[in-house]
Amino acid sequence: MAGDDEARIWALIAGSARRRGSPMSVQDVCAASVEAVAVSGAGVSLVSHERLEPTHLAGRLGRELLEAELTTGDGPCVEAVWGSGPVLVPDMAACEGRWPAFSEVARVGAVFAFPLVMGVVKVGVLVLCRDRPGELAAREQADALILAGAALTLLLDGRGSMSGHGVLPAASLALGVEIYQAAGMVSVQLDTTVEEALLRLRAYAFTHDEPLTRVARRVVQRRLRFSPDPSGR
């Protein structure tokens, strides 16, 4: 029954929080997602200034997918948030033309993105990924929807955002914070907006086949500087 399934999912979330020794947060939803659904990684990105900022993740593959989302600004997560519902991609290789840049960067077999919305307010997205192609079984999809609802509940309760009481792993924080710090520095170097600077960072990462976080770290450490010339140096 639906009530039993919800209780089972919340028990997994609570168990993750107990193991961390912290109050329940969206980080625990990510951990519970990997445990409840047959996926290799999970992540949550929140809408900030009309773009997605990764804030929580679980599993190596979850980090790689959020890296690809940041690098390209495209993919199932973006479509799920700005579209009309979940985006379920059981075989990424069959969708290369749908998100060409994302497909080239993301080394995942399957992606399942569930938007987190409250009425007309777009809060973020819960994404699950697999290293091999494969559809979600009916029960797995039902569990994923419950997990998305749990993430939204914790966010609205103030325990899932970066300003709330949830404890976020340093790696998760670095995914977003360092990139926007670098974008601010590049915007000064190029005398342009932060949005345009972020596009230059993404373009550099994509053309040099580097994770966006690594490029951003080089900028912050002043080992990489951008100039108005097309070479990006």
Per-residue pLDDT of the chain (233 residues; tens, 9 = 90+): 567 899 999 999 999 999 999 999 999 999 999 999 989 999 999 988 778 888 888 987 888 888 888 888 889 999 999 987 999 999 999 987 899 888 888 889 999 999 999 888 889 999 999 999 999 999 999 999 999 999 999 988 764 443 333 333 333 444 566 777 888 899 999 998 888 888 888 889 888 888 888 898 899 899 999 988 655 44
Q: What is the pLDDT of residue 171?
A: 39
Q: How far apart are CA 173 and CA 213, in angstroms?
A: 11
State both tokens at 9.
């999912």
Give 163's DSSP letter. Answer: T
Q: How far apart are CA 29 and CA 154, in angstroms?
A: 9
Give 43's DSSP letter. Answer: E
Taking each helix axis as running N to C, give the angle between helix 60-72 and helix 212-220, from 0 to 180 degrees, rounded to the nearest 10: 70
Q: How far apart are CA 171 and CA 207, in angstroms?
A: 24
Q: How far apart are CA 154 and CA 164, in angstroms?
A: 10
Q: What is the pLDDT of residue 161?
A: 43
Q: What is the pLDDT of residue 90?
A: 96
Q: What is the pLDDT of residue 184?
A: 86
Q: What is the pLDDT of residue 150?
A: 94
